[in-house]
Amino acid sequence: LLWSTFLRKAYSLILQGLTSVVALDFDRVEKRLYWIDVNRRVIERMSFNGSNREVVVNGVLHGEGLAVDWVARKLYWVDSFLDCLKVSELDGPVITTKLAWPNGITIDYTNDMLYWSDVISVHFYRYSDLDGRHRHTVYNGNLPHPFALTVFEDTVYWTDWNTRTIEKGNKFDGSGREALVNTTHRPFDIHVCHPYRQPIGMYAQREGCVHTPGLIMI
């Protein structure tokens, strides 16, 4: 794992020896990073400085997306082997919701919604409430191989493994679809960094937030 600010060109190595990490998110309250290791089939976490590394969840057969709700203190991930969405407290029991073939997942903090990608037969993005109910389809059947995604304001951004692009569109109805970046590899994850992605609430304050907007991919 590497760390850098937007304004620095240098990177700092905070953890090495990882072989197959496919998703990454963070808990701003406790200043921890979370990731999925598909070789070890676990979800791990550690402090931003690389200390206190520990396994949070075992038996993740093929996790492909991860989202930390640091406001409500919940952890969401999708497992494409079990075809399900799972949610737990950050230190609590796991609840499972059945899906088709899920890949990426992200949280829309403004509207308390989950967004995820699914690539079984017809490739689409969907959103639901935070319990996985009241599902709505945004794109249906016209995405080659959607993988990771993130949401900012009224826009959903995603990576596509077949076209090797980063695209965007309206998060409610899919309108205004546009390819932003063509890459030479398959992007594994994507995040928007902006103060408005950090809601004001019990655990959130504007002070100390990220104030340099940006789009990050791995």
| Ordered domains of the chain (ranges, CATH) | 2-217 (2.120.10.30)
First vs last C-alpha separation in the chain: 11
Structure-block tokens of residue 58: 């075992």
In three-state secondary structure terms, 41 is: coil
Comparing CA positions, the residue from 140, 144, 138, 215 lying closest to residue 180 is 215
**What average pLDDT score do residues 37-52 get?**
89
Kindly report whether the global pTM for this prediction surpasses the value 0.85: no
User: Measured between alpha carbons, how far is 212 from 53 in angstroms, rounded to an integer?
Assistant: 28
DSSP, res 100 = S
Band of residue 83 on the pLDDT scale cut at 50, 70, 90: confident
User: Is 15 buried (19+), middle (13-18) or exposed (0-12) by CB count in 10 A?
Assistant: middle
Q: What is the pLDDT of residues 166-195, one digit of tens each?
A: 888 898 888 888 888 887 677 777 877 776
User: Measured between alpha carbons, how far is 124 from 136 in angstroms, rounded to an integer?
Assistant: 10
Specify whether the CB–CB gap between 25 and 192 falls below 8 A: no
Comparing CA positions, the residue from 111, 159, 112, 120 lying closest to residue 141 is 120
**What average pLDDT score do residues 192-217 get?**
52
Res. 61: pLDDT tops 50: yes
The segment with the largest mean pLDDT, out of 8-17, 93-102, 157-166, is 157-166
Pairing of strands 178-182, 165-170: antiparallel
Band of residue 43 on the pLDDT scale cut at 50, 70, 90: very high
DSSP, res 30 = T
